[in-house]
Structure 1
Amino acid sequence: MSLHYQDNILNVHSVESFGTHDGPGIRMVVFLQGCKLKCQYCHNPDTIDTHGGEEYHIEDLVQMALKVKPYFGKKGGVTVSGGEPLLQSKALIPFFKRLKEEGIHTNIDTNGRILNHFTEELLDSYADLVMLDIKHMTEEGFETLTGAKNKETTFNFAKHREASGKPMWLRYVLIPGITNKPELLQALGEYFQNYETIEKIELQPYHKLGIHKWEALGWEYPLMDARENTEEEINDAVQVLQNYFKEVKVN
């Protein structure tokens, strides 16, 4: 099954009813199928292929959200993740529109690589929150880590969100010697220090929990030699970033 762009259909990898690390409060998380990046540390590599997934009608997903809405409380809601959800921006517009009609908070977890008129309408009119993954602060590092060129695309996305005046969180994976370097953390902080829409940055310490998924796909895991951060390294990273952001959270 190939990736669909029908108005009322989303191509879904999986749905999690009670997510607690995907935005504020308790959330229903819809993982969409398909991504144009192949990040070396990806812990959901089975979501990368744009072929696969299962077609869900938007209204069916809305009804699923309504069933768990009592658990959302004041802060929770629906997060769309992936894969890269903005590959399906056109269909996300009516989905988020319906969620808003039902008083449900909406959030997009994205790498910010897509900024077209569908994405802009989704961001400006229907996305209460955007969680933006910052992969790397240098072009060379970005290309090595993701297999794609032009890191500036993500930064242009961030500029658009900032101009809208709507809330944004940043996410950053800490990999010792690759992304967790003082000069990179400082560059990250200096780049975003004047952004007013950024409520927090979430640090994701590197782990190898997704290796078995790579192996199941018959893919070679590229970061076999990478190690996890020490507690001291994580604390040091927090110390650097606290100089620039209102809140630094370690997931």
Structure 2
Amino acid sequence: MSKINKEEILNNYKKIKGRVHSIETFGAVDGPGIRFVLFLQGCYLRCLYCHNPDSWNPQGGTEISAKNILKNILAYKKFYKNGGVTISGGEPLFQHEFLYSLLEALEILGFHTAIDTNGFIDLKYSKKCIDKANMLLLDIKEVDENDCIVLTEHSNQNTLKTLEYAQSINKCVWIRYVCVPGYTLSIDKIHKLGELLNKYSCIQKVQLIPFHQLGSYKYKELQIQYKLENTRVPTNDEMIEAQNILRQYNIPL
């Protein structure tokens, strides 16, 4: 694609703006290969273990045009030959119209795209973006609906509907599951996760993520109660045991 054509494409998106929490130019865990990771602002959920509570407020972050974001991504394009762009948050589908514009432009510019989503946005708003992206990184917060409400203040039904939709269109999905002792990490919980995920051929990888306390200071800065202050991080043995349980269900790790 010539420089002139690129500039024409970018100019089509100069008036389209969204709110951005942060960026990471060399992400190595948010999809295949080395990736540009864009964190959008705004999220409905209030996950007890969230390490970016500063991303919740839809009016927070910085307003940036799609054109400027795309220019930033293009500056690093040579590094993303075997990777691409992952749009995360917050919850990226919270800004679904802005997200779609970015995905549309990135497709034209030849980038592999992934949406890192909790799947809580209704499909009537999210379908268009899911269809446009190359893959989903879908965060399963909890398998049990009641426990999910305790953990996030919301039901998990929309997440499960999102997974069903991804299966119906054969969309590549990576599952992410945060292992929190006393909440999501137990032998019973991991067996239930395996039973659920075993049903879906669209799932190409499952990432078990150990809970950590790295974002706890943000709660103090924002004067938000942090309910997991005394929750320990999982041990290596616990994480290995969880992986071994999922392998019993032929889950790709």
Corresponding residue number in structure 2 for 1:241: 246
Equivalence for 1:38: 46
Q: Which residue matches 2:103?
A: 96
| Structural RMSD (CA) | 1.5
TM-score, scaled to structure 1: 0.92
CA deviations on 1:9-41 (whole Å, 9 max, x unpaired) are 121111111111211111111111110001111
**2:110 partner letter:** G
Q: Deviations over 1:151-198 (max 9, x none)?
A: 111101110111110100100000112111111111111112021110
Aligned partner of residue 248 in structure 2, secondary structure: coil
Alignment partners' CA distance in 1, 2:250 and 2:221: 39
Residue 211 of structure 1 pairs with residue 219 of structure 2: no
Q: Could you tell me how far 1:114 is from its partner in structure 2? A: 0.9
Per-residue CA deviations over 1:65-113 (Å, capped at 9, x if unaligned) read: 1111101122x11111110100111121121111011110101111000
Change in 2 beyond 3 A, CA 1:85/1:229? same
Question: Which of 62, 84, 89 is 1:54 aligned to?
Answer: 62
How far apart in 2 are the matches of 1:246 and 1:146? Answer: 25
Residue 169 of structure 1 corresponds to: 174
Q: Output the CA distance in 2 between the equivalents of 1:14 and 1:231.
A: 30
* Aligned match for 1:189, one of 185, 194, 201: 194
Structure-2 separation of matches of 1:152 and 1:118: 15
Q: Which moved more, 1:177-186 or 1:28-37?
A: 177-186
Contact 2:26 2:36 in 1 (8 A): yes
Q: Which amino acid aligns with 2:78?
A: P
Deviation at 1:51, TM superposition (A): 1.7
Q: What is the letter of the counterpart of residue 184 of structure 1?
A: K
CA change 1:169–1:245 in 2 (3 A) is: farther
Which residue does 2:138 correspond to in 1?
A: 132
The answer for the alignment partner of 2:94 in structure 1 is: 87
Q: CA deviation at 1:245?
A: 4.2
Separation in 2, partners of 1:156, 1:211: 31
Deviating beyond 3 angstroms after TM superposition, the runs of 4 or more aligned structure 1 residues are none
Percent identity over paired residues: 38
Which stretch of structure 1 is more off in the superposition, 238-247 or 107-116?
A: 238-247
* 1:109 matched to 2:136: no
Residue of structure 2 aligned with 1:78, choices 75, 85, 91: 85
Letter in 2 for 1:231: N
Unaligned runs of at least 5 residues, structure 1: 1-6
- Residues of 2 paired with 1:154 and 1:246: CA distance? 19
Q: Deviations over 1:107-138 (max 9, x none)?
A: 111100013444111111x2101001011111
Structure 2: unaligned runs, 5 residues or longer: 1-14
1:14 aligned partner: 22
Map of 1:146-157 to 2, 5 A cutoff?
Answer: 146-148=152-154, 150-157=155-162
Partner SS, residue 188 of structure 1: helix
Q: C-alpha distance in 2, partners of 1:197/1:97?
A: 23
Letter in 2 for 1:22: D
CA drift of 1:246 comes to 4.2
